[in-house]
Amino acid sequence: MAVISGDGVFSHMMIGASDMPTSVAFYDAALGALGVKNLGPFGDWILYGEDKPAFIVARPGNGEAPSSNGVTIGFAAATTAEVDAFHAAGVAAGGTDEGAAGPRGHLPGAYAAYLRDPAGNKICAYTFIEA
């Protein structure tokens, strides 16, 4: 199976979390399975990326509870094995299953897994394989 990849269109994404240590443990595990590194803190923010910050976890600046109902953030995976590892690591680190790893019929060659992080944010990992 060949992997089909594309270029991203976002400079970064930022989500809110009320329990930072729990969220950091979750993202360290789930994103670590995709090769995404915790680049460390920047003030109260935790930065994730490969060589520059692309995903940020922070307490909401307005002091309100984080909320993302209706929003899903998708992370690129290189292989189906990475998608599987993302889902397993995320669940083991306190995430909630929102769709087990497997093929997705709505896009040709799509293979994905969905999770809710400890703050309730919905995330997924996707890869695309040639049929």
What confidence score (pLDDT) does residue 35 get? 94
Which residues lie below 8 Å from residue 46, measured CB to CB, with a gap of 6+? Answer: 20, 23, 24, 27, 38, 40, 56, 57, 58
Residue 102 lies in a domain: yes
Structural domain count, the chain: 1
Residue 116 lies in a domain: yes
What confidence score (pLDDT) does residue 44 get? 84
Please tell me whether residue 28 adopts helix, strand or coil conformation. helix
Residue 64 lies in a domain: no
20, 91, 88, 31: which is closest to 58 by C-alpha?
Answer: 20
What confidence score (pLDDT) does residue 7 get? 56
pTM summary value: 0.80
Residue 65 lies in a domain: no
Q: What is the CATH number of the domain that holds 75?
A: 3.10.180.10
Residue 94 domain boundaries: 11-59+71-129
pLDDT along the chain (131 residues), means of 10: 53 87 97 95 90 87 73 91 97 96 88 93 90 62
Residue 119 lies in a domain: yes
pLDDT digits (tens, 9 = 90+) for 63-101: 777 776 668 899 999 999 999 999 999 999 999 999 999
What confidence score (pLDDT) does residue 53 get? 86
